[in-house]
Amino acid sequence: ANGAAAARPFAELDALLADLVARAPTVDECDAAVRALRSELGFAPPTAAAGGAALPGWATATLLARHRSIDGAALGGVTAGAAHAALRATCDPARAWRGGLVPTVAAGSR
């Protein structure tokens, strides 16, 4: 019974991964991803609108990026073609972890 319940989310994951492999990201998608990464990794300082409360998080992200040897300048060289090549190399549905998709019985529903 559990196998049948898991079939739908597993099929959805397979379809999403297949789409990532088959369809190259657009230049706009790639640019948006680079902007998001710059922000999340601390390479883009917080805006004035964010206020001072954002500074500790930004400082932490910046230090962690340096500690992990993440090169902010390299993000500028990411192209849609390079991103697609990386996706094709890593998004094999057979290698996907599915543990988070396994349905569980909710408390009190038995």
Predicted TM-score (pTM) of the model is 0.61
Q: How far is CA 72 from CA 53, 61, 63, 109, in A?
A: 23, 12, 12, 49
Average pLDDT over residues 9-21: 87
Tell me: the pLDDT tens digits for 88-100? 888 877 777 777 7
> 25: closest CA among 73, 85, 74, 71?
85
| d(C-alpha 23, C-alpha 110), whole Å | 42
> 5: closest CA among 102, 86, 109, 106?
102
Residue 109's pLDDT is what? 53
Q: What is the largest CA-CA distance in the chain?
A: 54
Asked if pLDDT for residue 1 goes beyond 60, the answer is no
Tell me: the pLDDT tens digits for 53-107? 888 888 888 888 878 887 778 888 889 999 899 888 888 777 777 777 666 655 5
Tell me: the pLDDT tens digits for 40-50? 777 777 777 77
